[in-house]
A and B are shown apart, each in its own frame.
Chain A
Amino acid sequence: MNILIPDKWLREHLQTKATKSDIQKYLSLSGPSVERIYDNEVYDIEVTTNRVDSMSVRGVAREAATILKRAGIAAQLKDVKFQEIKKHPAENLPLPEIIYETDEVHRVLAVVMTGVKHVDSPEIMKQRLEVIGVNAHEALIDISNYITHELGHPCHVFDYDKIMNRGGKIIIKEATKGKKFTTLDGAEYETIGGEIVFESESGEIIDLPAIKGTLNTCVDKNTKSILFWIESLDAKKVRRASMGHAIRTVAAQLNEKNVDPNLGKEVMEYGVKLFEKLCQAKVASELYDYFPNHQIPKSVALKMETIKNYLGIELKESEIKEILHDLDCQVSIKNNVVTVTPPTFRPDITIAADVIEELARIYGYHNLPSKLMDGELSVNPDPNTNYQLESLIKHFLADQGYQEIYSYSLISEKLALDSGHQLNKHLKLANPLKEENTYLRRSLIPSLIEIIDNNPSQKEMSVFELAFIYNPKENDLPEQTLKFSLVSNRAYCQVKGDLLNLFDRLYIFSHDQELIIDEKINKDIQMPIAKQEADFLIKTDKKQKKIGELMILKNNFTAIELDLKSLIAVSKKYPNYKKLIKTASIIEDLTFTLNKNTAVGELISAFKKVDKRIKKVELLDIYENNYSFSFIFQDEKINMSSEEVEPIRQNIVKIGQDEFKAKLVGQI
């Protein structure tokens, strides 16, 4: 939460010669952060949620006094004392009857004032309210906003007669569900049940306490007498009601963070003083103060050694005492144990680490040395992946012309359906921000296709991404698997070649593993955007393992989705070195005329199996139905002669002819 404080207002509580930039610098280093100074006058200060005591002019002044002193700049919190509230002898109005039907009330303060004049607030008050972003109305209304900002405890002003006309009772209770009420700005609500409300005798809701007043009891231009009121309720209750109704007033944001109920009296006195002074109001009742159980802060004990453990340096006992005293704590140190009792406005100090934070920040984090830790290293790598390999794959693909993409894991209905999984087989957000980001994806391919489509000016597009996909599981987290996916509009053979290059780089084939492409029959095709689909399998001696999928899309793009974990499992860090062969090889080209349906990959595999002296078979060229292959013959022991190749050559032609109806072009 940020609070705006004009410098002059701050100095009404803070006696110091520190400049504005001193205040900005030292407060930021050791206390609430002064993010900016507007117009060289107004501090914009971020106060953290645990420090509601600093959410006021006085609260910040108190912090500044301690922090500036430590920085060597004289500073003191000014004493502000208000007069006791005394009933005006000539006035006498009864307080409403307050009935407690819940024990979630920590304190209630109330006083009746009468004879209020409707006047404008003084200029300085109006200006200050404007600067802090509050609209000025008339003094009667402005006073409560002004003192809340100055002292930090919200307060409320009822129209006294409206309460009395409703029977003169305020019943504090937990609401039942479904009761209607209208807040002072005219907005209509219904109770959610369980929130604390004030009701009249007849059961009408007459206030949503600690959050916002209601229209039926708020002051207006005819108000003659007021009930000036402060309540302190259970913070969790306040928060639940405020969030439930989405009413996030300043009062609610303070009250839900445990404002110190002890602060109430001061605020009451300050308010009465202002109503008297500005509205000529007179106190017409005794001060009502219901404070059933004064919470005394628990003390925290910690060893001196623990302080050293956190800071890495030893603080002297005198230094510890001084810092904590300056923060209004009571301190005693005996047998190396520091016992600290925080003031009532610091309910955030409950454990040793809280005390250490106070000591360290006031001592100054900037005054602590900076050094790297030594000690034992943890050798326990993440078993789920191999970051080196991930990086290698990314760099390798990029070097082959593939652009890496980061796309949203949250996708539209269309992209979800493009994956081939039904919508109800996707995780769905309960509260999406945008419709196109509603489902958690089950494949990266549709996102990558969309990116290619969104870049029409690019002629050749090859993209890849490494990211999680999410498969829903019953009553558990989804299965989250890392996929390496690529989509390209290069020709299929080229994409396949790129992939084979990658596999070579990962030494997959060097270790006697083989890639099998297992094409699915038409009816098994899953992705509606694909026209052909196949599984990628890696075959070793004994088994086959699926590592991913291949898709030829309807627009002829090639898409590949690899499972990273499976890919890592078949990848190697180094090759399986094959002995260098010293004998000469013979290279021959043969051309065959093939039928339209011949699977060339299978034909090549068959050729390779003809004889172990065939070291390599490569497709050289395709011309119409004629396919030229290059064969490398090599015997590991002797230099082969053309005569020795002859029978192998004949077998090649025979296998081609018999098993694939491949006709040799020319003669051998």
Chain B
Amino acid sequence: MSQQDYIKICQDLLSQANQENDTKAEDLRVKYLGKNGLFKNLSALIKEVPNEQKKAFGQELNKTKSKIEEKLKEIEQQQKTTQAKIDLTLPGKKAKVGHLHPISQAIEEISQIFERIGFNRVRYPEVDFDYYVFEALNMPKNHPARDEWETFFIDTPAHEKMGKIVLTTHTSNGQVREMERLKSKPPIRMINVARTYRRQSDATHTQMFHQFEGLVVDKGINIQHLKGTLDYFAESFYGPGTKSRIRPFHFKFTEPSFEVDFSCHICGGTGKNCRFCKSGWHEVGGAGMVHPNVLRAGGIDPDVYTGFAFGWGVERTYTLKKGLNIDDIRLFYSGNLEFLEQF
């Protein structure tokens, strides 16, 4: 077979391929490039080519093959785009996914808000000595202020110095512990999030719940800074325009002490016909300037440093979100998947 002959048969095959249009792309692939396809037949002709021209024929074959492949791809692409339309109303297929518990979601959001203004998240024992939970917080034994906390006690002998072992009734046990951890050296900006426990159970109270505790100690810390921090949190967590206010209250471990309210974002703080709030405000928790005795318990000189602290329930804070509509916080700890999967 002469050089002209094989060039011609190669070109013939190519032009044949170029005229293809209607046949399905995969059938064409079998026809041209399959085990017994036209190209295979063509390459078998190499036997009839004189040895010195075999190389040239080989090259010609390769060229032809790649051109055929190109053409086939083009046809394939064309056919794909002209296929029948996809029914866009078909139901989506979802992979099975789980969910973060709503309390985890709330804690993440709360922590991130405070971390943005320089607070360090920490974690302290949830089963702790009376000393850290009450005594170091300026609450001597048998003080009436302790009545407010329905405390669970562990059935074990009291420690000689540190007192009884209790389930933490609040995250405030982290206050003196944090001062100790930082070797009594401010600045302190702590956010302590933990499980807390009180002997109570109804639609708005569970035996176990969560609190977050903020503690700031430094030179020159004053009530304005507490207000600033509360306003910053309220706007970040509930949305722009949410206000906070502090009102006089009494805790043994802060002086002055405050009750903290956030403006109701459901009625816009007007209180008009709103069944969610009290006159436009929601009570969320307590706050105050750290009592000098608490600073002393943590080895910090109250004549040099001042500080503020606040502590609220995560559940309470979270369920005030607009449109969340959870009216029974026991659901959080029910392990009911139908509830949890909504988050």
B255–A357 contact, CB under 8 A? yes
In the complex, A398 Cα to B218 Cα: how many Å? 40
Nearest CB on A from B32, distance (A): 27
In the complex, A405 Cα to B289 Cα: how many Å? 36
B144–A382 contact, CB under 8 A? no
Can you name the residue of chain B whose Cβ is closest to the Cβ of A428?
A: B155
Known: A376-B187, A398-B98, A407-B333. A430 touches B154 (CB 8 A): yes
B282 within 8 A of A: no
Choose among A376, A404, A472, A477 the residue that contacts B218 (Cβ–Cβ < 8 A). A376
A39 within 8 A of B: no
A375–B218 contact, CB under 8 A? yes
Question: Within 8 Å CB of A377, what residues of B?
Answer: 118, 187, 189
A49–B250 contact, CB under 8 A? yes
In the complex, A608 Cα to B129 Cα: how many Å? 54
The dominant DSSP class at the B interface is mixed
Choose among B98, B121, B155, B246 the residue that contacts A397 (Cβ–Cβ < 8 A). B98
Nearest CB on A from B198, distance (A): 9
A229 within 8 A of B: no
B259 within 8 A of A: yes
B231 within 8 A of A: yes
Question: Within 8 Å CB of B216, what residues of A?
Answer: 373
B337–A461 contact, CB under 8 A? yes
Choose among A356, A369, A395, A427 the residue that contacts B154 (Cβ–Cβ < 8 A). A427
A406–B125 contact, CB under 8 A? no
One of B82-90, B220-228, B319-327 at the interface? B220-228
In the complex, A311 Cα to B197 Cα: how many Å? 34
B101-135, CB < 8 A from A: 101, 103-104, 108, 111, 117-118, 120-123, 125-129
B220–A375 contact, CB under 8 A? yes
One of B51-59, B62-70, B71-79, B199-207 at the interface? B199-207
Q: Most chain-B CB neighbours within 10 Å: which of A28, A240, A370, A428? A: A370
Can you name the residue of chain A whose Cβ is closest to the Cβ of B148?
A: A49
Can you name the residue of chain B whose Cβ is closest to the Cβ of A454?
A: B335
B98–A400 contact, CB under 8 A? yes
Can you name the residue of chain B whose Cβ is closest to the Cβ of A478?
A: B127
Nearest CB on A from B73, distance (A): 23
One of A186-194, A262-270, A432-440 at the interface? A432-440
Known: A312-B222, A357-B248, A368-B227. A406 touches B103 (CB 8 A): yes
Question: Within 8 Å CB of A373, what residues of B?
Answer: 216, 218, 221, 225, 228-229
A48 within 8 A of B: yes
Question: Within 8 Å CB of B341, what residues of A?
Answer: 403
A360 within 8 A of B: yes
Q: What 0/1 pattern do residues 311 to 343 of B give for CB contact below 8 A with A?
A: 000000000000000000000110111101100
In the complex, A394 Cα to B111 Cα: how many Å? 16
Can you name the residue of chain A whose Cβ is closest to the Cβ of B115?
A: A387
A49–B145 contact, CB under 8 A? yes
A363-395, CB < 8 A from B: 365-366, 368-373, 375-378, 380-382, 384-385, 387, 391, 394-395
A371–B228 contact, CB under 8 A? yes
B99 within 8 A of A: yes
A462 within 8 A of B: yes
Nearest CB on B from A49, distance (A): 5
Question: Within 8 Å CB of A437, what residues of B?
Answer: 207
B306–A405 contact, CB under 8 A? no
Nearest CB on A from B132, distance (A): 10
A432–B152 contact, CB under 8 A? yes
One of A30-38, A81-89, A91-99, A631-639 at the interface? A30-38
A458 within 8 A of B: yes
In the complex, A408 Cα to B246 Cα: how many Å? 33
Known: A360-B256, A429-B152. A462 touches B98 (CB 8 A): yes
A382–B249 contact, CB under 8 A? no
In the complex, A630 Cα to B128 Cα: how many Å? 55
B222–A33 contact, CB under 8 A? no
A291 within 8 A of B: no
In the complex, A401 Cα to B99 Cα: how many Å? 8
In the complex, A597 Cα to B299 Cα: how many Å? 64
Total residues of chain A contacting the partner, CB 8 A: 97
Question: Within 8 Å CB of B238, what residues of A?
Answer: none
Known: A372-B229, A378-B187, A404-B98. A50 touches B250 (CB 8 A): yes
Q: State which size class the interface on B falls in.
A: 35 or more
Q: What 0/1 pattern do residues 146 to 187 of B give for CB contact below 8 A with A?
A: 011000111111010000010100000000000001100011
Can you name the residue of chain B whose Cβ is closest to the Cβ of A472?
A: B156
Nearest CB on B from A300, distance (A): 12
Nearest CB on A from B252, distance (A): 8
In the complex, A407 Cα to B332 Cα: how many Å? 9
A401–B218 contact, CB under 8 A? no
Nearest CB on B from A289, distance (A): 28
Question: Within 8 Å CB of B144, what residues of A?
Answer: 49, 239, 256-257
Can you name the residue of chain A whose Cβ is closest to the Cβ of B147?
A: A49
Question: Within 8 Å CB of B333, what residues of A?
Answer: 406-408
B244-287, CB < 8 A from A: 245-250, 255-259, 278-279
A401–B256 contact, CB under 8 A? no
Can you name the residue of chain A whose Cβ is closest to the Cβ of B145?
A: A49
In the complex, A28 Cα to B260 Cα: how many Å? 12
Known: A239-B144, A365-B245, A475-B157. A480 touches B125 (CB 8 A): yes
B137 within 8 A of A: no
In the complex, A395 Cα to B232 Cα: how many Å? 27
Known: A361-B248, A375-B187, A407-B335. A398 touches B224 (CB 8 A): no
Choose among B101, B129, B222 the residue that contacts A311 (Cβ–Cβ < 8 A). B222
In the complex, A100 Cα to B128 Cα: how many Å? 43
Can you name the residue of chain B whose Cβ is closest to the Cβ of A242?
A: B144
Question: Within 8 Å CB of A434, what residues of B?
Answer: 201, 207
B96–A460 contact, CB under 8 A? yes
A409 within 8 A of B: yes
Q: Most chain-A CB neighbours within 10 Å: which of B257, B292, B335, B336? A: B335
Nearest CB on A from B185, distance (A): 9
B97 within 8 A of A: yes
B208 within 8 A of A: yes
In the complex, A476 Cα to B160 Cα: how many Å? 10
B101–A406 contact, CB under 8 A? yes
Question: Within 8 Å CB of A661, what residues of B?
Answer: none
In the complex, A310 Cα to B288 Cα: how many Å? 11
In the complex, A153 Cα to B159 Cα: how many Å? 39
In the complex, A476 Cα to B159 Cα: how many Å? 7
A158 within 8 A of B: no
Question: Within 8 Å CB of B297, what residues of A?
Answer: none
B129–A409 contact, CB under 8 A? no
Can you name the residue of chain B whose Cβ is closest to the Cβ of A256?
A: B144
A229-257, CB < 8 A from B: 236, 239-240, 243, 256-257
B125–A477 contact, CB under 8 A? yes
A51–B250 contact, CB under 8 A? yes
Nearest CB on A from B186, distance (A): 8
Known: A49-B145, A372-B232, A404-B99. 4 other contacts (CB 8 A): A239-B142, A378-B188, A433-B200, A477-B129
Closest 7 A/B residue pairs (Cβ): A48-B250, A357-B256, A451-B335, A370-B227, A312-B222, A353-B255, A401-B96
Q: 17 interchain pairs (CB within 8 A)?
A: A29-B245, A48-B250, A312-B225, A360-B223, A361-B248, A369-B227, A373-B228, A378-B118, A398-B100, A404-B104, A406-B333, A428-B154, A429-B152, A433-B152, A464-B98, A468-B126, A477-B128
Q: Residues of A with Cβ closer than 8 Å to B? A: 24, 28-33, 35-36, 48-51, 236, 239-240, 243, 256-257, 309-313, 351-354, 356-357, 360-361, 365-366, 368-373, 375-378, 380-382, 384-385, 387, 391, 394-395, 397-410, 427-434, 437, 440, 450-451, 454-455, 457-458, 460-464, 467-468, 470, 472, 475-478, 480
